[in-house]
Amino acid sequence: MPVDSPPRREQDEAYLLGLRLDGRRVVVVGGGAVAARRVPRLLAAGADVMLISPAVTPALEELAVQRRIDWQAREYRAGDCASAWLVIACAGPSPVNAAVADEAERNRIWCVRADDAAASTVWTPAGGRVGDASVGVLTGDPRRSAAIRDAITTGLQSGTISARHYRRRAAGVALVGGGPGDPGLITVRGRRLLAEADVVIADRLGPRELLAELSPDVTVIDAGKVPYRRQMSQDEINEALIRHARDGTFVGRGGEEMLACLRAGVPVTVVPGISSAIGVPTSAGLPVTHRGTVQDFHVISVHVPPGDEGSTVDWPALARSDGTLVLLMALDRIGPVARTLIKHGRSRKCPVSVIADGTLPTQRTIYSTLEHVERRLAEEGVRPPAVVVIGDVVTIAAELAELGRALGGGDHDGLDAAPSPVPPLAADLIKRA
C-alpha cells in the first residue's frame, strides 16, 4: 500500500525552545564581533562559557580577565565540543566552522553556524528581554526578525502592548505621576505599570486618553478632583487603594497616598512624572531660569490665599526675591496673590504668564502684568488647570513666541491647530524688554 509522503514546506520551520543553560557548558569557537554579541547573553542565562580563539575582542578579553569565561587562546581542536550542551561556531574561516559543526553533529550537540544558517542545526532568534519576558523572533530574514523584535520590546517597555502578569502577580499600589497632561509625556515605566494594573484610580489631571487603552476587565475609579464639583475625598481615595490592594490586586494611582498605604502595610511603588511646574512652562517656550536674567525659581502651591491662617508661604520674602515664581492651583486666588506681591515690593509691571491646559491641544498662553492679571483672566474665562509664571522670564517667552510665529511656527508641539495671535500685551512686554 502506498504511503503518503509528508507535505512539502516552502521553507524550514523552526521549533522554538527556551534553553535553560544555567551551569551548563557552552562552547564558542571564534573571538570576533559575533562572539562579542552572543557571549554576554549566554552569561546572562548562567551558561558556563568556554571561548576558543587565538585572539579576541577587547570586551571578550575583559570577561576572561574577570574570570567570567574560560578563554582558550588557541585554534579549535577536535574534541573541543565534548561535554558541551550548545556549540556556537563563529570563527573567521568557514572550514573551521564546518569542522566544529561536524563534530557537534556526530555528538548530537546543538550547533549554531554563524556563517551558514542552512548548515546549522539550531538558529539563534533575534532576542530581547523586558522585565521577566524574553522575546525571540525567527523569520529567515535577520533584519526583519530584529525589526519585529524591536517593535515588540518597545511596545512592552512603553506599555502600548498590554501584557499583564497572571501567574505571578504582586498585590500593591503604584503611585504613578501622569505628567502635565499630554498622554505622550507619561514615563515609560509609568505606562508599563498602568498596563499591569487591575484597578486604576484616576483624577481629572491625569492623561485620560490612556484609560481607553486598558484591558476591558480593569476597574477604573474616577476620583474626580474637578473644582467645585463632586469628587472623592482624600480619605475615600486612600481607603479604596488599601481595600483593593488587600484583595490581592495591583492598583495604579498617583498623588498623596503613599503615607496612608505604608501605614496600612500595603507595598508601594513610586514612579515620578514630569512636573507641571516645569513641564508646562517649557511647553509654552518659557524657561523658568535664564542666563543673565534669573538664576532661581520657586514653586508655590496656592491652596489658600496669602494671609490665610493655613498658609505657610512667606509671601513678603517671595516679593523681595528676583526669582521666577511658579504658582500651582492659583487661578481662584490670583487677585490676593498679586496684591500681596505688589504690597511687599514686586513691581506692578512685573510680567505674568498663565498657561492653561498645558501640553494639550487646547493649550493657550495669556500674558499680563501683576496689576492687571486678575482682570485679564476673568475676561478670558480661564479655568483650571493652569500654571501661573511671574517674573522677567515671561518677557523672554513672549519674544520666543513672536519669533516662532514669524517663522510660521504652530502650537506647542508644531503639529496640530494653528496658534492664536500673540496678544497685544505680549508685544508690549517685548518692546519694554
Q: What is the CA radius of gyration of the chain?
A: 31
pLDDT reading at 426 higher than 70: no
Q: How many angstroms separate the Cα of 297 from the Cα of each of 176, 287, 288, 294, 400?
A: 25, 10, 6, 8, 20
Least confident residue range of 67-71, 80-84, 135-139, 427-431:
427-431
* Amino acid letter, residue 412: H
Counting every residue, how long is the chain?
433
Look at the block and give the residue holding cell 517663522: 407
Cis preceding-peptide flag for 421 (omega within 30 of 0): no
Question: DSSP secondary-structure letter at 328?
Answer: E
Q: What is the pLDDT of residue 417?
A: 33
Look at 76 and 157; give whichever has higher pLDDT: 76
Output helix, strand, coil percentages for the chain, rounded to the nearest 5. Answer: 35, 20, 45
pLDDT reading at 214 higher than 80: no
Residues 394 and 215 sit within 8 Å (Cβ to Cβ): no
Q: What is the pLDDT of residue 422?
A: 41
User: Where are the alpha helices (H) located in 177-257, listed in sequence order?
Assistant: 188-196, 234-246
Model pLDDT for residues 228-260, shown as the tens digit of each residue? 445 677 788 888 888 887 776 656 555 557 888
Q: Which burial class, exposed, middle or buried, applies to 321 when counting CB atoms under 10 A from its CB (0-12, 13-18, 19+)?
A: middle
Q: How far is CA 272 from the centre of its chain?
A: 10
Residues 355 and 419 sit within 8 Å (Cβ to Cβ): no
pLDDT reading at 316 higher than 90: yes
Q: How many angstroms separate the Cα of 209 from the Cα of each of 284, 323, 390?
A: 22, 36, 31
Q: What is the pLDDT of residue 169?
A: 64
pLDDT reading at 420 higher than 70: no
Q: What is the pLDDT of residue 57?
A: 95
Least confident residue range of 64-73, 157-166, 282-291, 318-327:
157-166
CB atoms within 10 A of CB 342: 17
Which range among 69-73, 283-287, 306-310, 362-366 has the greatest average pLDDT?
69-73
Which range among 35-39, 283-287, 392-396 has the greatest average pLDDT?
35-39
For helices 58-65 and 33-44, the axis angle rounded to 10 degrees is: 40
Q: Which burial class, exposed, middle or buried, applies to 236 when counting CB atoms under 10 A from its CB (0-12, 13-18, 19+)?
A: middle
16 vs 149: CA distance, rounded Å: 15
Q: What is the pLDDT of residue 414?
A: 37
Average pLDDT over residues 179-197: 85
Transcribe 156-182 into DSSP letters. Answer: HHHTSS----SSS---EEEEE---SS-
Average pLDDT over residues 350-367: 93
Q: What is the pLDDT of residue 349?
A: 94
No. of helices (H) and no. of strands (E), the chain: 13, 17
Question: DSSP secondary-structure letter at 184?
Answer: G
Transcribe 332-382 into DSSP letters. Answer: GGHHHHHHHHHHTT--TT-EEEEEESTTSTT-EEEEEETTTHHHHHHHHT-
Structural domains of the chain ordered from first start? 25-124 (3.40.50.720), 129-158 (no CATH), 172-271 (3.40.1010.10), 277-432 (3.30.950.10)
**Contact partners, residue 49, CB within 8 Å, separation at least 6:** 26, 28, 39, 42, 43, 68, 69, 70
Average pLDDT over residues 253-274: 79
Cis preceding-peptide flag for 385 (omega within 30 of 0): yes
pLDDT over 70 percentage in the chain? 84
Look at 87 and 83; give whichever has higher pLDDT: 87
Considering the chain, what is the average pLDDT of its residues?
84
* Maximum separation of any 2 CA atoms in the chain, in Å: 107
**Contact partners, residue 263, CB within 8 Å, separation at least 6:** none
Average pLDDT over residues 341-351: 95
Q: What is the pLDDT of residue 12?
A: 64
Q: What's the first-to-final CA gap in the chain, in angstroms?
A: 99
pLDDT over 90 percentage in the chain? 48
Average pLDDT over residues 33-51: 94
Q: How far is CA 276 from the centre of its chain?
A: 16
Name the grid cell of 409: 511656527
Average pLDDT over residues 361-373: 93
Least confident residue range of 178-187, 272-281, 299-308, 424-433:
424-433
Name the grid cell of 202: 484616576
Look at 377 and 270; give whichever has higher pLDDT: 377
Least confident residue range of 43-47, 179-183, 219-223:
219-223
